[in-house]
Amino acid sequence: MINELKIAIAGLGTIGSGTVTLLNQQNDLLINRTGRHLRLVSCSALKMPTNLPLDNIPFFSDAREMIKTVDFDILIELIGGADDVALDIVTTTLKQARHVVTANKAMIAHHGHTLAILAEQTGVTFGFEAAVAGGIPIIKVLREGLAANSLSQIYGILNGTCNYILTTMRKSGREFNDVLAESQSLGYAEADPSLDIDGLDTAHKLSILTSLTFGTIIDFSKVHIEGIRNISTFDINSAEELGYSIKLLGIARHTENGIEQRVHPCMVPIHSSIGHVDDVFNAIVAEGPFIGRTLFEGRGAGAIPTASAVIADILDIASGRYTPTFGIPAKKLIPLQIASMKDHRSSFYIRLTVLNRSGVFAKIAAAFRDEKISMEAILQRRHVSDKEIIPVVITVHDTLEYLVLRVINRIQTIQEIVKSPYMIRMETLL
C-alpha cells in the first residue's frame, strides 16, 4: 500500500486554489515522483469556495481550529500577513514537529530566523520556495544548485506589478496613475497597491535572498526601500534616449563596507540581460567567481506558477530531501553587516524642472563643480504647456551617493528650481 502524506491547507485564495488544482490534476505524476500519495485532508478559509473539488474534505473557517482538530503531516500556509493567524498556526505546527510550506514572504522577512531555528530544533522542514519569484525555483537554486559558490551579488525584478506598470508606461506613453488604474482593473495590482508600488513586496523578497546568498540573519529593517510613484514618462523617454530602461530592482551586493541591501528604481542598459524583461515577468541574476553570471526568468506570480513552487516543497518533504532553511543551519547565520547608502557608488540620473532664466545653468553647474562631480550628459526640452519651464536631465559619472545628495540639496535652494529634483541610480549591469 502506498504511504500517504496528509496535507492541510490554510488559505484558499489565488495560490491556495492553484495548489488544490495541481494536487488533483497531477496526482499520478506526484505519486510516481515520490512513491507517496499526497492527500488533502483538510482546508481552511474565511468561506468555502465553490469552484474547487473539495467534496468530503473537512472545511474550517478558523485555521487555528483546523490545526487543533485535524491529523496532518504538512501545513500549507497561504493566508498571508507577517503576524496574526499566519504566524500563530505556523509556529504551533512547527512546535508540534510537523512540516510547514508557505508562500508568505512578509512573515519570513520579519520572523524567518526564529521560525528556521524552531523548525531545525524539531527536525522538520520549513519550506518557502513560493515566497520569492513565483514559479522561478530560485530558493532551491541558492540552497542547492549554487551551494558550492560564494556569490558576490544577487539582483532582479521581483515584482510583476511594478514591471507591468513600467513596461506599459514605456510602450504606451501614458503616465503612472493612468497605468496603475488599468493594472488594478486587470487584477495585476491590488485595490491598495502600496505594498507593490512602494517597494515593500520587493523588499520582503530581497531580504530572503540576502540571507540565502550571504549566510546572514534575515533583517528586513535594513533594506533601503524606494518605490516607483515618482517615475514619469519623461524619465522613461529620457532613459531610452540614453540607452537605458527603468526597472524596479532588488539588489543585494557584497562590498568592502558590508552588504548593500536596496530596493529602488534603476536605469539599466536596454540590452542587458535584465533590461529586456517586460510585463509581469520576474528575473533574477546571481553572480559569483565560479559561475560568472546566471539568469533566471519566468512568471513571478499567478495561481499555477506559484502553486508549482508550493508543490515543489511538498515533493522534497515527501521524498525525504532536507536542506537547512536558509542553506546553512540557522544558528550559524551571522548578523547582517549593512553597507550605508551614502557609500554607494554608481552613475546617477537627475531630473530637474527649472525656470528659463539667464544664469540658472551656471548655478547648477557650480553645485556639481564644488563637489567635484563630473557631468556626463545634459538633455533639455521645452515644457509642453509652459515655455517658461524647462525639464532638464543631467547624468553624472561614477561617484559616491552622498555627494550627489549634497548637490541635490544645494540645487533645491536655487530660486529657479520649480520642483524637487528627482534622482535615479544607473546600474552598469550586463
Structural domains in the chain plus CATH codes: 3-133 (3.40.50.720), 138-300 (3.30.360.10), 344-426 (3.30.70.260)
CA angle 111, 325, 74 (to 5 degrees): 85
Residue 387 is predicted with a pLDDT of 67
Contact 311, 193 (CB under 8 A): no
Find the helix packing angle between 160-172 and 233-241, rounded to 10°.
80
Find the helix packing angle between 27-34 and 303-319, rounded to 10°.
30
Residue 384 has pLDDT above 60, yes or no: no
pLDDT digits (tens, 9 = 90+) for 141-186: 999 999 888 899 999 999 999 999 999 999 999 999 999 999 888 8
Residue 1 is predicted with a pLDDT of 46
Residue 385 has pLDDT above 60, yes or no: no
Residue 196 has pLDDT above 90, yes or no: yes
More confidently predicted of 331 and 189: 331
Residue 369 is predicted with a pLDDT of 92
Residue 52 is predicted with a pLDDT of 82
Q: How confident is the model at residue 383 (pLDDT cuts 50, 70, 90)?
A: low
pLDDT digits (tens, 9 = 90+) for 310-339: 999 999 999 999 999 999 999 999 999 999
| Mean predicted lDDT score pLDDT of the chain | 92
Count of other CB atoms within 10 angstroms of residue 18: 22
Q: How confident is the model at residue 3 (pLDDT cuts 50, 70, 90)?
A: confident
Sorted by sequence, the CB contacts under 8 Å of residue 203 that are 6+ apart come out as 109, 220, 223, 225, 250, 263
Residue 408 has pLDDT above 90, yes or no: yes
Order of strands, edge to edge, in the sheet holding 126-127?
59-60, 36-44, 3-10, 74-77, 99-102, 126-127
pLDDT digits (tens, 9 = 90+) for 207-261: 999 999 999 999 999 999 999 999 999 999 999 999 999 999 999 999 999 999 9
pLDDT digits (tens, 9 = 90+) for 84-119: 999 999 999 999 999 999 999 999 999 999 999 999
Query: CA-CA distance, 250 to 370, in Å (whole number)?
Result: 32
Choosing from 6, 68, 105, 205, which is the catalytic residue?
A: 205
Residue 386 is predicted with a pLDDT of 58
Residue 58 is predicted with a pLDDT of 92
205 as an active site residue: the answer is yes
Sorted by sequence, the CB contacts under 8 Å of residue 362 that are 6+ apart come out as none
Sorted by sequence, the CB contacts under 8 Å of residue 161 that are 6+ apart come out as 183, 188, 189, 193, 196, 197, 201, 280, 301
- The H or E element spanning position 162 is helix 160-172
Query: CA-CA distance, 1 to 388, in Å (whole number)?
Result: 82
Q: Which of 190-194, 227-231, 343-347 has the lowest mean pLDDT?
A: 190-194
Residue 148 is predicted with a pLDDT of 87
pLDDT digits (tens, 9 = 90+) for 40-87: 999 999 888 777 878 889 999 999 999 999 999 999 999 999 989 999
Contact 89, 67 (CB under 8 A): yes
Phi-psi region of 359 (alpha: psi -120 to 50; beta: other; left: phi over 0): left
Query: CA-CA distance, 262 to 164, in Å (whole number)?
Result: 20
Query: CA-CA distance, 233 to 242, in Å (whole number)?
Result: 14
- Cell 506570480, residue located: 301
The beta strand positions in 314-412, using DSSP E, are: 345-355, 375-380, 389-400
Stretch 375-393: mean pLDDT, rounded? 78
Residue 380 is predicted with a pLDDT of 80
Contact 423, 350 (CB under 8 A): yes
